[in-house]
Amino acid sequence: MSGFGVAFRIGVELVAALVVGVGAGLLLDRWLGTTPWFLIVFFFLGAAAGVLNVYRAASGIGLAEAEGAPAPSDGEPEEQDDDWPGGTGSDRP
């Protein structure tokens, strides 16, 4: 994947969580009439979630590992079926 693609993905991750946080804060404020307290709280929660998303995207829980290695399955071994539709499977673990 190109560097531009990675950069764009990380930018979107950061903004998306912020959008959810601010949106949830505004809706709760309108519903409960507590302007602006929920907006303030959820803005910071959304920002934290955005940083968490970026950290996860950058540290490889996501696209980076999907390039080659299979996703970690927490030590539970999966039996391999032979009739899986993935074709030969010779080049796959």
Partner 1 sequence: MANPLHQFEIQVVAPIHFGDVNASLTNSGVFMLITVAAVTLFLMFGMRNRRLVPGRWQSMAELSYEFIAGMVRDNVGNEGRRYFPFIFSLFMFILFGNLIGLVPYSFTFTSHIIVTFAMAMFVFLGVTVIGIVRHRLKFFSYFLPKGVPLVMAPLLIPIEIMSYLSRPISLSIRLFANMMAGHTMMKVFAGFVVPLGILGGWAPLSIDVALTAFEFLVAFLQAYVFTILTCIYLHDAIHLH
Binding site for partner 1 (CB under 8 A): 1-2, 5, 8-9, 12-13, 15-17, 19-21, 24, 42, 45-46, 48-50, 52-53, 56, 62-63, 66, 70-71, 73-74, 76, 78-81, 84-87, 89, 92-93
| Minimum CB distance to partner 1, residue 64 (Å) | 11
- Measured at the alpha carbon of residue 70, what is the angle toward residues 69 and 71, in degrees to the nearest 5? 120
What Rg, from alpha-carbon coordinates, does the chain have? 20
Q: Evaluate whether 9 touches 57 at the Cβ level (below 8 Å).
A: yes
| Minimum CB distance to partner 1, residue 14 (Å) | 9
